Amino acid sequence: MLVVVKKHPIDFRVEGNIPKDLIESLKKQYGEALCIEQEETLMQVSEMAWYKSLANENSPGKNLRFYRKLHNLTQTQLAEKTGVAKQFISDMERDYKPISRQMAKRFSSLFSVDAGRFI
């Protein structure tokens, strides 16, 4: 929690687990000049509902393209890193060719994600 008081010439902040009696005292003393903010809880993108719904719509090829672009790689660069032809990367991204388990493991290692995203 964050408590901020801005009243000329006073400007101070109190952060952390603030006792209720201190907050009540500050409310009485400073009224409208008191601003109380709750801390935002951060979470992983992969845990968010919108990401999960998009992930369900994605195919292995779309996931491959997503991670390739996320890592700022061209199809040619990815092909060189994985030891395959650029056309093969293109075909996998467009879902023309399936991604084998062996290739999924290579992508998993390269992008540091679960191989299941590519199968």
Say whether pTM exceeds 0.75: no
Is residue 44 assigned to a domain? Answer: no
Q: The domain containing residue 80 runs over which residues?
A: 57-118
CATH code (residue 98) = 1.10.260.40
What pLDDT does 11 receive?
A: 74
Residues 67, 25 share a domain: no
Residues 108, 63 share a domain: yes
Is residue 45 assigned to a domain? Answer: no
Is residue 47 assigned to a domain? Answer: no
C-alpha 92: how far from chain center: 25
What pLDDT does 102 receive?
A: 95
- Close Cβ partners of 82 (under 8 Å, ≥ 6 residues apart): 89, 103, 106, 107, 110
What pLDDT does 19 receive?
A: 86
Closest of 74, 65, 50, 51 to residue 118, by C-alpha: 65
For 61, the 3-state DSSP assignment is helix
Residues 62, 20 share a domain: no
Is residue 51 assigned to a domain? Answer: no
Q: What is the pLDDT along the chain (119 residues), one digit of tens a residue?
A: 666 666 777 777 777 888 889 888 888 888 878 877 776 667 777 777 777 777 667 789 999 999 999 999 999 999 999 999 999 999 999 989 999 999 999 999 999 999 998 98
